[in-house]
Amino acid sequence: MIELENVSYTYGGGELLSDVSVQLQPGSFHFLTGPSGAGKTTLLKLCYGALLPTSGRLSVFDQDISALDRDQLAVLRRRVGVVHQDCQFLDHMTLAENVALPLMVSGRGESSGQDNLTELLSWVGLGARLEARPPELSGGERQRAALARAVILSPDVILADEPTGNVDWEMSQRLLHLLVELNRMGKTVLIATHDLSLIRAAKSHVQARVLRISQRKLHLAGADL
């Protein structure tokens, strides 16, 4: 599904990732750990084509990402849901409109998604906040809204970059459960986090592989949790 072969990424003369090789199989669950600045976000951005490898081969859904033009990358991103720690929204639009944004940009009819929108927002606990504007949302609500937006097109892969970074423990557990639930639906999940307690908490719910980035290299951190 996502395969990196000897991928390196250099920016401004400095190598941020070196010779990274890993495969994310369909339906698998992964944690990506490492200290701040280790390159977790860079690796995630490579996985959805926001950055392109300096060398090596990165294929997503059997497509060489370096060979795709911008519009092809955009289409590919519709199959990859992304949740960032500092999730960004369009502040002049309502929560419902923000979550429905992927439907709009992909040209899918309102009817096909609108029915699911309310259900989806209820699933992440925001059913009563449809008309709220993003600035009115708390950190946890924003994260859940970002997750809803990431999955509204039913992507095959979900990439979450420090999704629990700005929320309390209870909310981080709730988000984790949502991601585990998505994995049970067959989605491939990759969560970048430096929060080891989150990884430990996931142990009882999911078979996850833990990858660790240190000194620009990717390592398997240990046995399955």
Confirm or reject binding of residue 106 to other proteins (CB under 8 A): yes
To other proteins, the closest distance from the beta carbon of 74 in angstroms equals: 4
- From 15-23, 28-36, 104-112, 215-223, give the range in contact with other proteins by CB under 8 A: 104-112
- Fill in the DSSP letter of residue 164: T
Confirm or reject binding of residue 196 to other proteins (CB under 8 A): no
Check if the beta carbon of residue 2 is closer than 8 Å to that of residue 47: yes
Q: Which is nearer to other proteins, 103 or 225 (CB)?
A: 103
SS3 label, residue 103 = helix
Q: How far apart are CA 122 and CA 59, in angstroms?
A: 34
Going by their DSSP bridges, the two strands 188-192 and 157-161 should be labelled as parallel
CB atoms within 10 A of CB 155: 20
Q: How far is CA 178 from CA 59, 202, 209, in A?
A: 27, 11, 18
| Strands, E assignment, the chain | 2-11, 14-24, 29-33, 55-60, 63-64, 80-83, 157-161, 188-192, 209-214, 217-220
Report residue 23 as tokens.
Answer: 């495969």
To other proteins, the closest distance from the beta carbon of 89 in angstroms equals: 7
Name which position in 21, 88, 122, 138 contacts other proteins (CB under 8 A): 88
- From 95-103, 119-127, 179-187, 205-213, give the range in contact with other proteins by CB under 8 A: 95-103
Confirm or reject binding of residue 86 to other proteins (CB under 8 A): no
To other proteins, the closest distance from the beta carbon of 184 in angstroms equals: 24
Name which position in 11, 90, 207, 214 contacts other proteins (CB under 8 A): 90
Q: How far is CA 190 from CA 23, 116, 212, in A?
A: 11, 24, 12
Confirm or reject binding of residue 101 to other proteins (CB under 8 A): yes
Instruction: Give the closest residue to 118 by CA, choosing from 102, 108, 109, 129.
Output: 129
Binding mask 156-195 for other proteins (x = CB under 8 A): ----------------------------------------
To other proteins, the closest distance from the beta carbon of 110 in angstroms equals: 8
Q: Which is nearer to other proteins, 93 or 132 (CB)?
A: 93
Confirm or reject binding of residue 111 to other proteins (CB under 8 A): no
Q: Where along the sequence are the contacts to other proteins (CB under 8 A)?
A: 50, 70-71, 74-75, 77-78, 82, 84, 88-90, 92-93, 97, 101-102, 104-106, 110, 149, 153
